[in-house]
């Protein structure tokens, strides 16, 4: 029987919001095992929420229930849904793009719209700004505890009907490969790109190569230098940059014992492009 419930939000831990969700869930079933993915998503950033689900969800046991609440449209007519992934995980979330990476890189087999007339915290009818507590935590707890099944959540909706965020394509250039900086390894400031290792190595790049790295913010050149492609950070001296394969089998750039993003004021998103080029 499922008993694992994992919470993600942009609420932070400086007030009682996350604790309230814990309390509601444990009131459904005191034997639930509750964990946190993160509560430090940048406020309102559905892209980041989507990526962090992709980063972590598949490493949990099948049947794990994730509740992801980054919900700038709370209280509007946006849908509340539960998605069943091809890996057998459940994701309870607003339908606002937070399923984008899971849908594209993991796969979703079925989506159901939460029937809030049946699945809502008692006494919360006039509370329209905390669905994390009043809807999502309740549904997640009921599903994780086995008190309801997936079919009991509400009506099916097509997987293609859920809202998706725009993903950037990876392209081959004349002498390189170009993608975008999807997200940061926040604590260490490494740049995580959308370029898969298998696409990168098709260029003939090998460990030890010095590869030209070109980073732009829109049309503005931000960084252009030759960087070593290494197996790990220790393949370069402290404070030197390195290209490496990150934990999701994507290409990344870091500074050994430094912070690349802070050093060069680099952000993330589709307009932040990165190109790896064969050095002359």
pLDDT per position as a tens digit, 6-32 = 999 999 999 999 999 999 999 999 999
For the residues 209-213, what does the mean pLDDT come to?
Answer: 97
What DSSP letter does each residue of 267-278 carry, written as one string?
Answer: --EEEEEEEEEE
pLDDT at 20: 97
What is the Cα 84 distance to its own chain's centre? 16
Query: pTM for this structure?
Result: 0.93
Q: How far apart are CA 277 and CA 158, in angstroms?
A: 41
Question: Taking the CB of residue 107, how many other CB atoms lie within 10 A of it?
Answer: 11
pLDDT at 22: 98
**Pairing of the two strands 269-278 and 210-217:** antiparallel
Reported as a pLDDT band with limits 50, 70 and 90, residue 125 is confident
Angle at 150 between CA 149 and CA 152, to 5 degrees: 70
112, 81 Cβ separation under 8 angstroms: yes
Reported as a pLDDT band with limits 50, 70 and 90, residue 129 is confident
Give which of 231, 217, 198 is closest to 261, Cα–Cα.
Answer: 217
pLDDT at 1: 52
Residue 257 has pLDDT above 60, yes or no: yes
The three-state secondary structure class of 64 is coil
Residue 126 has pLDDT above 90, yes or no: no
Task: Note the pLDDT tens digit of each residue in 102-122.
Answer: 999 999 999 999 999 899 988
Region label for 147, one of left (φ > 0), alpha (ψ between -120 and 50) or beta (otherwise): alpha
Q: Could you give the domains of the chain?
A: 4-161 (3.40.50.10790), 171-278 (2.40.30.90)
Rg (CA), the chain: 21
Task: Note the pLDDT tens digit of each residue in 163-178.
Answer: 999 999 999 998 999 9
Angle at 155 between CA 86 and CA 44, to 5 degrees: 70
Q: How far apart are CA 158 and CA 219, in angstroms?
A: 38
């Amino acid at each position: 029987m499922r008993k694992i419930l994992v919470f993600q939000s942009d609420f932070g831990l400086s007030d009682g919001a996350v604790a309230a969700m814990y309390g509601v869930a444990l009131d459904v079933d005191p034997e639930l095992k509750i964990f946190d993915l993160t509560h430090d998503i940048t406020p309102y950033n559905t892209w980041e929420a989507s990526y962090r689900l992709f980063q972590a969800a598949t490493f949990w046991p099948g049947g794990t229930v994730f509740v992801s609440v980054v919900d700038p449209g709370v209280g509007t007519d946006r849908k509340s849904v539960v998605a069943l992934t091809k890996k057998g995980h459940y994701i309870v979330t607003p339908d606002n793009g937070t399923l984008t990476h899971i849908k594209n890189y993991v796969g979703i087999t079925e989506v159901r719209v939460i029937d809030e007339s049946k699945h809502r915290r008692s006494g919360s009818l006039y509370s329209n700004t905390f669905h994390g507590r009043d809807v999502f935590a309740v549904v997640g707890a009921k599903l994780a505890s086995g008190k309801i099944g997936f079919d009991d959540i509400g009506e099916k909706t097509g997987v293609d009907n859920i809202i998706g965020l725009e993903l950037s394509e990876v392209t081959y250039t004349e002498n390189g490969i170009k993608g975008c900086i999807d997200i940061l390894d926040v604590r260490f400031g490494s740049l995580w790109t959308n370029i898969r290792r298998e696409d990168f190595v098709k260029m003939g790049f090998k460990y030890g190569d010095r590869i030209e790295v070109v980073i732009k913010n829109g049309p503005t050149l931000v960084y252009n230098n030759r960087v070593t492609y290494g197996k790990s950070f220790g393949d370069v001296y402290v404070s030197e940059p390195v290209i490496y394969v990150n934990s999701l089998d994507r290409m990344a750039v870091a500074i050994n014992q430094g912070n690349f993003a802070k050093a060069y004021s680099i952000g993330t998103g589709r307009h932040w492009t990165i190109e790896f080029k064969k050095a002359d």
